[in-house]
Every structure is written in C-alpha cells, then in structure tokens.
C-alpha cells in the first residue's frame, strides 16, 4: 500500500515474517496399497480441470479483468478517508465483547496472531477494535471469512450505503471489471483476436473425465519470455570480463572479473593485483530476480465470474531456498608490500504480494559474506551495509522470539537478518563461508488460495565485491556463488456442489550458479517436496516446469 492505514506508532515494530492461512494438513499414509492409491488418484482427477499455461497477453487480460487497479483500502488511505474505515470497524465490533472477535477468528485460523505481536505491539488481542483493523489490513482473506461467518457488511457494502459518492468514485475508476459483473471476453473492446480466441478456448475447456459444471476453476500460469513458468532476470546465463592494465614503468595493475546469472541465482569470480600502485575495485551486482504468479480462474463458459459463495478455495503451499558461498584470499607479504583486502557479499529476499491491500510479506531476507584485510582502513561491514540497503533487510533478529512462527525451535536458515561477515586479518589469508535462507509454508501454514485473485512471489538477490591493495605487490581474489529453488503446490480444494474443481498442481524453478548446492541436490529437493505436497511421484528433470 502507498499509505499505512494503521497509525505509525502502533506499527513501529512491524516486520512481516508470517503467512495467511490455516494449519498444515495431513497426507495419506505411505502404508496405503498401490491399488488403493491408484483408485484414489483416479477418483481425485475425475471431473477436475488441468492447469493451463497462457500467453503473456492473455495473462494480462485475465489479471486486468479480475484485479482492482487500486484496492478499496488503498483508495481510502490515498484520499485521507480513514475516518470512514474507523466508522466501519466501530460498527463491526460494537456488539462483540472483548476477545470475542479474536475467539471467532481463531476458530477459522489458529495462527491469526502471527503478525499481531509485531504489528500491534502496543495493544492486547482483547482490544476488538484494533484487532479488527489489523485483520482488515494484514489478514484480508481471513477478514473476509470472518465477515461471511458473521453475515456482516463488507467494507464496499458499508461505503456504498454510508458514503456513496466515495464508493462510486472508487468503483467507477479503480474496481476490477470482474467486480462490475463484466465478462472477461467483453470488458476490453481492444482485445486482439488471438487473445479472444485463447480466452474462449480456456473457458470452454473440458475437465479430465466427467462433465463440466456451469462454473469451472483451473490454475493459470503465464508463459514468459525467459521460461515456461518463471520469469528470470537476466533471462539466460551470461559471462563477461573486465580487464585493465597499466604497464608504464614500475606501475602495474590488473583486474579480471567474470559473472554468471540465471534468474536470482548468480556468481562472480574476480582477481585483482597491483605492483607499486594503489588499485581498488568496488562493484555491486543488482537486480538478479526470479518471479512466479499463482491464479485460480473460476468462471462460466461465457467468461463471467462465478458466484463467490459457490466457488472454490484451496491451500497454496510455497517453498523457497537460497544458498550462497563465499571465498576470498589476499596476499601482501613481499618486500615493500603495504596492504591488501578482499570482500565478497551476497544476499536474497523472498517475498509475496498478496491480493488486496495487504502489504508485501517478506518470507526470508538474509545476507552474508567473507572478508580478509591487512593494513587497510576500508570498512569491512560496508559490503553488508550495501546489501542491507539494497534488499531492505531488517535490523531485527527474530531468533530470540519466534512466537507462533514455528511449532518448534526457529530454524537458523529462516532467520530474517544479516547473517554476518566472516573476517580474517593478516598479510596472507583465505576465508570461506556459506549463507543459507529458506522459507517453507509447511513449517507454518499454507496460504489461503481464493478464486480469481493473483498471488505474486519474487526472489531478488544482490551481491557486492570489493578489493584494494598497494605497495610492492598485493593480490586479492574474491568470489561468490549461489544456488536454490522456488516452488509451489496448490491442493486441498474445497468447492461448491456446482463447481468443477481444479486439479492439484505444482510449479518449480531451480538453478545452480557455482553455489553450495548441486543441480542434482536441488532437483531432489524439488521432487521430494512436490511429491509430498501432491501425494504422487514427481519428476523435475528440467530446471523449471509444471506438474499435475
């Protein structure tokens, strides 16, 4: 959101480290016989919609149809109409005793307080007013569930009654065509014939076995220019070198630096030396990124939004891993050698942009590095400082108080913080270190997957290298490399009696760019996790793909 609905004082300690959703679910026992498993699988797939990969233009058409250009909460904040939200919350909670709203919401999701201790540090959960405001902003899907269970007015309904001019302005200028009852086929008269035909085929697709209900739901994935399911920046691996030298008399220096990248995963390998000359190198490697979208399209054959009370919801399980290794060496031990240093750092942020006005939720955010120094005044922590600024890493370390994030002890690779710089001093030194970050919704709870909403996940990384030396002879070597994977599984769908459900499906992307984890181990991680989530064998021989 552009503005914060809840006041700054209340939100002073806010840091997103948790998810929307309900408790994790149990899977069928591995002792089930092969025949029973096969029968169950056939039963599950009968009458279900397979996932569909659509062109980027068709994806944009579907997203523009179903997504508000500006959420109602954002519109209220942007137009300084917060008092309207206050009136609405007052109306919702006036008939509830203290802690009653909390108890009702916990019956829907026991992890509802995941963000409360940080977002609302100055209020107790028994404060119905503040707790309900917290729900509206930070747990919108759960807030909608609570409203439905209490047959309460939604915010759009309230504003339509109490402030029709404000509501009409938002509705006419910012509400999604889906919300206005328009068909995905007809809302945009400028749709090309190719997009219209692809949408028509999509809406008339038949399920696997059985007959199609009036409403049908299917998982949609955009096809990208850099791969079938995941957008990567840069799109393909790349190499480059930077070389310079000065052979004038006794002054000599040289730099050779090579990088590769595939999406968010990247590597760098550099060598700097100088003779009788001060010579340094400082470079940040920016915007290496991978992203994927999740959407469950629910519509009839004419392209109209299904009745929400008679549609589908599901679980969205997500896993992201990032591992980086660092190696630096330096030498300044020959006669007249004065100084040398070598720094290498890397960090990554995995985050999700949820539907509606909820702010971005950071799932992990971590950086680390290695450094050696000898007789130099350079600030070793400047490398990590640059990464902290680039990635927006919070200074808070949550390992001391994990709260409801995990049932057991907080895993070290889930910590949201700077992992630290491993340093060593001396005129000849070598330093090696490794940093790992991981998020797995199985450790917390799944996202609640709602129909016709877009969930956007992004893994961003940023690296920095720095080296300098002078005197008779100085040498610096600096390198980093990373590897990891991102994946999701959509399953456990609950649909109305007249709705054809989607087929459980998964998506993955993995890569190794001289990181700690090999392609073989990454593939094994993807296959193991998706097989567990989808309760069937999964082969992930390619770096990215879809399975159902």
Q: Does residue 175 register a pLDDT over 50?
A: yes
More confident call, 233 vs 9: 233
Whether 117 is covered by a domain: the verdict is no
Q: CA 359, CA 348: separation in Å to the nearest integer?
A: 19
What mean pLDDT comes out for the span 142-169?
90
Q: Determine the angle formed by the axes of helices 82-93 and 155-162, rounding to 10 degrees.
A: 110
Q: Does residue 401 register a pLDDT over 60?
A: no
Phi, psi of 149, rounded to the nearest 5 degrees: -65, -25
Residue 20 is predicted with a pLDDT of 30
**CA torsion, points 178, 182, 188, 191, in degrees to nearest 10?**
90
Quick one: which of 325, 372, 345 has its CA closest to 477?
372
Q: CA 497, CA 437: separation in Å to the nearest integer?
A: 42
Q: CA 76, CA 416: separation in Å to the nearest integer?
A: 31
Q: CA 137, CA 143: separation in Å to the nearest integer?
A: 9
Residue 306 is predicted with a pLDDT of 85
Written in H, E and C, the secondary structure of 418-467 is: EEEEEEEECCEEEEEEEEEEEEEHHHCCCEEECECCEEEEEEEEEEEEEE
Are 223 and 57 in contact by the 8 Å Cβ rule? The answer is no
Are 386 and 332 in contact by the 8 Å Cβ rule? The answer is no
% of the chain exceeding 90 in pLDDT = 41
Q: CA 275, CA 98: separation in Å to the nearest integer?
A: 74
Confidence at 45, pLDDT banded by 50, 70, 90: low
Phi, psi of 338, rounded to the nearest 5 degrees: -105, -45
Q: CA 245, CA 251: separation in Å to the nearest integer?
A: 9
Q: What is the pLDDT of residues 404-439, one digit of tens each?
A: 233 333 345 555 667 778 888 888 889 999 999 998
Q: Is the dihedral of CA 203, 208, 211, 215 positive or negative?
A: negative
Q: CA 55, CA 332: separation in Å to the nearest integer?
A: 56
Phi, psi of 434, rounded to the nearest 5 degrees: -140, 140
Whether 526 is covered by a domain: the verdict is yes
Whether 535 is covered by a domain: the verdict is yes
Residue 250 is predicted with a pLDDT of 55
Q: Does residue 461 register a pLDDT over 60?
A: yes
Residue 34 is predicted with a pLDDT of 29
What mean pLDDT comes out for the span 118-130?
77
Domain of residue 334: give its range: 222-378+426-547
Structure tokens at 150: 């209490």
Whether 493 is covered by a domain: the verdict is yes
Contacts 24+ apart (CB under 8 A), 192-201: 192/57, 194/55, 194/57, 195/55, 195/57, 195/58, 195/61, 198/54, 198/55, 198/58, 199/58, 199/61, 199/62, 199/303
Structure tokens at 477: 């070597």
pTM of the entire predicted model: 0.81
Q: Does residue 149 register a pLDDT over 80?
A: yes
**CA torsion, points 402, 407, 412, 418, in degrees to nearest 10?**
-30
Residue pointed to by tokens 């992930």: 540
Q: CA 508, CA 53: separation in Å to the nearest integer?
A: 14
Whether 174 is covered by a domain: the verdict is no
Are 340 and 330 in contact by the 8 Å Cβ rule? The answer is yes
What mean pLDDT comes out for the span 31-54?
57
Q: How many CB atoms within 10 Å of residue 379?
A: 12
Q: How many CB atoms within 10 Å of residue 422?
A: 17
Pairing label, strands 447-449, 312-331:
antiparallel
- Mean pLDDT (the chain) is 81
Residue 40 is predicted with a pLDDT of 43
Residue pointed to by tokens 């890569």: 511
Q: Does residue 30 register a pLDDT over 60?
A: no
Phi, psi of 297, rounded to the nearest 5 degrees: -85, 125
What mean pLDDT comes out for the span 159-169?
93
Q: What is the pLDDT of residues 194-246, one digit of tens each?
A: 999 999 999 999 998 878 888 999 999 887 655 567 888 886 666 666 556 66
Q: Does residue 536 register a pLDDT over 90?
A: yes
Q: Where are the alpha helices (DSSP H) in 50-112?
A: 56-66, 72-78, 82-93, 100-108
What mean pLDDT comes out for the span 281-301?
88
Per-residue buried b or exposed e for 352-366, using 16+ beta carbons within 10 Å of the residue's own CB: bebbbbbbebbbbbb
Are 56 and 223 in contact by the 8 Å Cβ rule? The answer is yes
Whether 383 is covered by a domain: the verdict is no
Residue 244 three-state SS: strand
Whether 198 is covered by a domain: the verdict is no
Residue 42 is predicted with a pLDDT of 44
What mean pLDDT comes out for the span 133-143?
84
Whether 142 is covered by a domain: the verdict is no
What mean pLDDT comes out for the span 373-390?
79
Residue 79 is predicted with a pLDDT of 87
Confidence at 478, pLDDT banded by 50, 70, 90: very high
In sequence order, what DSSP letters do the residues of 106-119 get, joined into one string?
HHH-TTGGGTHHHH
More confident call, 393 vs 140: 140
Q: Is the dihedral of CA 493, 494, 497, 498 positive or negative?
A: negative
Residue 14 three-state SS: coil
Say whether the peptide bond before residue 234 is cis (omega within 30 degrees of 0): yes
How many structural domains does the chain have?
A: 1
């Amino acid at each position: 959101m552009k503005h914060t609905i809840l006041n700054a004082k209340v939100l002073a300690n806010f840091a997103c480290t948790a998810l929307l959703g309900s408790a994790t679910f149990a899977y069928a026992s591995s002792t089930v016989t092969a025949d029973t498993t096969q029968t169950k699988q056939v039963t599950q797939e009968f009458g279900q919609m397979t996932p569909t990969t659509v062109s980027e233009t068709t994806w944009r058409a579907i997203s523009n149809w179903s997504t508000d250009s500006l959420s109602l909460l954002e519109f209220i904040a942007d137009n300084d109409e917060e008092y309207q939200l206050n009136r609405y919350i007052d109306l919702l909670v006036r008939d509830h005793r203290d802690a009653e709203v909390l108890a009702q919401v916990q019956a829907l999701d026991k992890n509802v307080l995941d963000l409360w201790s940080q977002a609302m540090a100055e209020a107790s959960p028994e404060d119905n007013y503040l707790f309900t405001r917290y729900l509206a902003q930070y747990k919108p899907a759960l807030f909608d569930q609570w409203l439905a269970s209490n047959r309460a007015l939604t915010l759009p309904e309230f504003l339509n009654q109490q402030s029709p001019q404000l509501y009409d302005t938002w509705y006419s200028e910012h509400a999604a065509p889906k919300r206005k009852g328009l068909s995905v086929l007809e809302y945009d008269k400028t749709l090309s014939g190719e997009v219209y035909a692809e949408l028509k085929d999509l809406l008339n697709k038949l399920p696997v076995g059985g007959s199609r209900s009036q409403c049908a739901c299917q998982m949609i994935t955009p096809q990208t220019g850099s791969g079938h399911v995941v957008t990567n920046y840069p799109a393909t691996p790349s190499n480059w070198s930077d070389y310079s030298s000065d052979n004038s008399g006794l002054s000599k220096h040289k730099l050779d630096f090579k990088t590769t990248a595939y999406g968010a995963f990247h590597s760098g390998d550099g060598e700097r030396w100088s003779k009788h000359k001060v010579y340094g190198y400082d470079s940040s490697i920016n915007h290496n990124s991978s992203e994927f979208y999740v959407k469950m399209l629910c519509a009839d054959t004419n392209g109209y939004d299904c009745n929400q009370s008679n549609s589908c919801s599901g679980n969205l399980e997500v896993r992201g891993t990032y591992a980086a290794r660092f190696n630096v060496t330096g030498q300044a031990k020959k006669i007249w050698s004065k100084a040398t240093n070598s720094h290498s750092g890397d960090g990554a942020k995995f985050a999700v942009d949820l539907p509606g006005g909820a702010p971005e939720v950071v799932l992990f955010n971590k950086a680390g590095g290695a450094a050696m120094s000898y007789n130099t005044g350079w600030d070793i922590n400047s490398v990590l400082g640059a990464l902290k600024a680039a990635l927006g890493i919070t200074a808070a370390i949550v390992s001391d108080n994990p709260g409801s994030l995990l049932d057991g002890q907080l895993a070290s690779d889930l910590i949201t913080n700077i992992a630290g710089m491993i340093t060593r001093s001396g005129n000849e030194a070598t330093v090696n270190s490794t940093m790992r970050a991981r998020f797995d919704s199985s450790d917390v709870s799944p996202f609640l997957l709602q129909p016709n909403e877009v969930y956007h996940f992004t893994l961003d990384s940023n690296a920095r290298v720095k080296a300098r030396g002078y005197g008779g002879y100085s040498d610096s070597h600096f390198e980093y490399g990373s590897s990891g994977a991102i994946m999701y599984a959509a399953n456990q769908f609950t649909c109305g009696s007249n709705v054809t459900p989607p087929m459980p499906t998964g998506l993955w992307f993995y890569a190794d760019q001289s990181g700690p984890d090999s392609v073989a181990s990454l593939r094994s991680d993807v296959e193991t996790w998706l097989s567990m989530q989808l309760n069937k064998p999964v082969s992930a021989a390619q770096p990215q793909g879809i399975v159902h």
